[in-house]
A = this chain, B = another copy of it.
């Protein structure tokens, strides 16, 4: 019943928006959108992505990410501040010090706010040890 009222209100707002020429042609929905492109690329800049997946988290978790549900949960745990992904490295791992950089990016919208995040790891081992099994870049 509550849903029905909400739907009617959205329709009413839409009509109003149409009448007054307000920007949106369609209702914004009842949830803030979360839609992110995640990439992994070789090198220091993010110009070329070797792998890229999408994940959309509302109203349901979906996307080309192999586990959108886990990725959405992991993104939610960062509250949109993706540096949080770097905060729990696996302290039991040691990585060689060679430099073969891997750059990961996250761009899009998290709960209605734009996110644009990039991080370069010294090499793939460092990336793996730092992310420590986090689902976001597990693709």
Contact = CB atoms under 8 A, between A and B. Distances in A.
Interface of A: 21-26, 28-29, 33-37, 39-40, 42, 46-56, 62-64, 96, 98, 100-102, 105, 107-109, 112-114, 116, 123-125, 127-128, 139
Given A35-B64, A64-B35, A114-B47, A109 B52 contact: yes
Contact of A56 (B24, B54, B112, B116): B54
Q: In the complex this chain forms, how many copies of it are found?
A: 2
Given A23-B123, A62-B64, A48 B108 contact: no
Contacts of A128: 25
Contact of A124 (B25, B33, B37, B109): B25
Contacts of A56: 52-54, 63-64
A61 B124 CA distance: 30
A100 B51 contact: no
Contact of A23 (B22, B42, B109): B42
